[in-house]
Amino acid sequence: MHRESSNATHPKKTILITGASSGIGKQTALALAAQGHTIIMHGRNPRKTQEARDWIIERTGNRDVHAHVADLSLMSEVARFAADINATYDRLDVLVNNAGGQFGSTREVTAEGHEKTFAINTLAPFLLTNLLLPKLRRSPSARIVTVASESYRQAGRPILADIELERHYSMARAYGFSKLYVWWLMRQFDARLKADGVRNVTVNTVEPGSAATALQRESLRKSPWMLPLIILWLPFIRTARHGARTSVLMASSPAVEGVSGEFWGNMRRKRIDAKWISPDGERRIWDYCAQVCAPYLTDVAQ
């Protein structure tokens, strides 16, 4: 069992960041490691994840940085990964659900039969958060930070009769809905924790803005027709380091201690048009995800 110490003035947090081998996740891990926290980095590729860990240790001098590998498109892998984290670390203070994917113009399904964008962007954060929540609840002050996107506004009206888009798939729709749905799920986590009287766990969603990450490369590889659009958008795309700032703020800053149930971007609260808030939609997405993930949630209260 891994154990860590803490500083009386600035308590040392144990922070898990998914999708930390590149892009915004890697920059989030770098900034938080520089603050002296214990960092648990998740990645999908073993070599790339280990190299990112070594790079962060070299840059920060913080050797309390650890690498774990899992394919979060598969719920069986999410469950295995969560069990590994629960068995390895005595505590968990912050979960940053950063991992995400954007795919091409043809609908793809995982080996478990789920639309790939939905599996990575929506199902995985739902299941991982549920499986790690008991450990987070034992922290004196825990935070759940989930990376969404302003793209939630670009997919149109949610199609709740076809959540995994078997009949209505498009790349933009899949990505936009997945980010809307994960935001809805985090609103549900916040509401359910408050209803249970839990006050030591906060839940917030963040958006990084347009940042240069591997997401665009994956989209271009499968949909090269997007290149002209990305070229037009280049003046508005910022670095991954800039995109990580709000995640770092919400994961570690004393200024947001106790803040929960909010959507943040560009280091401040976002104003959300009421038309995107749907208590019925939230419950339906929650129930759908709970049904899909039921085999892995037998020991977790829903």
Report yes or no: 89 and 1 within 8 Å, Cβ to Cβ.
Answer: yes
Closest CA to 84 of 132, 121, 45: 132
Cα radius of gyration rounded to whole Å, the chain: 18
Q: Choose the catalytic residue: 89, 152, 169, 175.
A: 175
Query: How far is residue 82's CA from residue 75's CA, in Å, rounded to a whole number?
Result: 10
Q: Write the DSSP assignment of 174-228 as a string of letters.
A: HHHHHHHHHHHHHHHHHHHHHHTT--SEEEEEEE--SB--HHHHHHHHH-GGGHH
Closest CA to 279 of 199, 185, 195: 185
Query: How far is residue 73's CA from residue 137's CA, in Å, rounded to a whole number?
Result: 26
Cβ neighbours of residue 276 under 8 Å, at least 6 residues apart?
Answer: 152, 153, 180
Closest CA to 81 of 89, 94, 71: 71
**CA 111 to each of CA 76, 101, 115, 126: distance values in angstroms, whole numbers, following the listed order:** 10, 16, 10, 19
296 is catalytic: no
**CA 125 to each of CA 16, 118, 233, 272: distance values in angstroms, whole numbers, following the listed order:** 12, 10, 28, 21
Amino acid at 53: R
Catalytic residue list: 175
